[in-house]
Amino acid sequence: MASLRCPAVLVVVALGGNALLRRGQPLDAETQRQNIAIAAQAIAELARDHRLVITHGNGPQVGLLALQSADSSCSPPFPLDVLGAESEGMIGYVIEQELSTRLPDQEFATLLTQVLVDRDDPAFGDPDKPIGPVYSENDARRVAAEHGWILGPDGDGYRRLVASPAPKVVRELSAIRHLVDAGILVICGGGGGIPVTIDRGGAIRGIEAVIDKDRTSALLAAELGADALLLLTDVTAVYLEWGTAEQQRIFTASPAALQRHIFAAGSMAPKIQAACEFVRKTGRPAGIGALEDAAAILRGEAGTTIRDGAFELKMYDRDGQ
């Protein structure tokens, strides 16, 4: 099997927003804690044998915070970079609590993470990152008119779309590296990190955007010298012809093989892009699959493994093996 396991493995584990809050679930604190508790069980299994750095999505949460801020009559709405920092702390706090219960001898650090982006990134002219709750078409029109937001199709509904520039530099990289070297499990890069730029005077400034969490995870994993990257979501693997009678589950593939196919722009395509970036840059493997299968994906027994040298797609057979 195409195992990701290596001696003394350091793994960057990216928890997808859909893995922490299922589509259609209420955006309340208790529902999110219940989902994070499930995630913590899967992560704890990995952490008993490997060194981990955990990142996580924040799309539903940061969108909800933006909606609450825009609807408040007490003050002007907070910008997205500040709300991103708020969601990073909020989600990281619950992840750390749930993991601490399951790993009482492990030390943790949840770190607000600033990520440098290019203020001239073309993404600012083409917002395509969905955040916040799902709306019906009529509600989407109303919300767009009320707040001046861009909303677009997302699955069977509509969501707010914001700019998603490419991550360039993780500003806290040195601190994360020191913590990892000290044996501390780090939770960082939440929501792709807080997007910042540097102005002409050299000051760091937040910018209105949400960075793709998987791309930041791939950048961080490469810079840390991680042995593997796991992108965990709510689907079991990468599929060809997803959602059709001809869909096929991919077992292993190379970046070149995956580039010959088209995947869903708002969901699987960014994960594949991030995984391929990591594999090309480092020569090390990446895995994509379901959160509950995290340990099995690392062993090469579940999910989809992307690696150098597997020049053709290898599919699961009809029995899922």
Encode pLDDT of 225-236 as tens digits: 999 999 998 889
Confidence at residue 7, expressed as pLDDT on a 0 to 100 scale: 46
Q: Which among 34, 183, 176, 47 is positioned nearest to 115, based on CA atoms? A: 176
pLDDT in tens, 172-215: 999 999 999 999 999 999 999 999 999 989 999 999 999 999 99
Average pLDDT, integer, range 82-107: 95
Answer yes or no: is pLDDT of 126 > 60. yes
Indicate the pLDDT class of residue 266, thresholds 50, 70 and 90: low
Q: Cα–Cα distance between 88 and 214 in angstroms, integer?
A: 15
DSSP annotation string for 250-313: EEEE-HHHHTTS---TTTHHHHHHHHHHHHHHHS--EEEEEGGGHHHHHTTSSSEEE-TT--S-
Contact 206, 194 (CB under 8 A): yes
Confidence at residue 65, expressed as pLDDT on a 0 to 100 scale: 87
117 against 29, higher pLDDT: 117
Q: Does residue 205 sit in helix, strand or coil? A: strand
Average pLDDT, integer, range 8-18: 85
Q: Cα–Cα distance between 176 and 230 in angstroms, integer?
A: 18
pTM of the full structure: 0.90
Q: Which among 321, 133, 128, 287 is positioned nearest to 218, based on CA atoms? A: 287
Which of the residues are catalytic?
17-18, 129, 213, 271
Q: Cα–Cα distance between 240 and 3 in angstroms, integer?
A: 22
Answer yes or no: is pLDDT of 316 > 50. yes
Q: Does residue 316 sit in helix, strand or coil? A: coil
Indicate the pLDDT class of residue 6, thresholds 50, 70 and 90: very low
Indicate the pLDDT class of residue 311, thresholds 50, 70 and 90: low
40: which 2 tokens?
């913590």
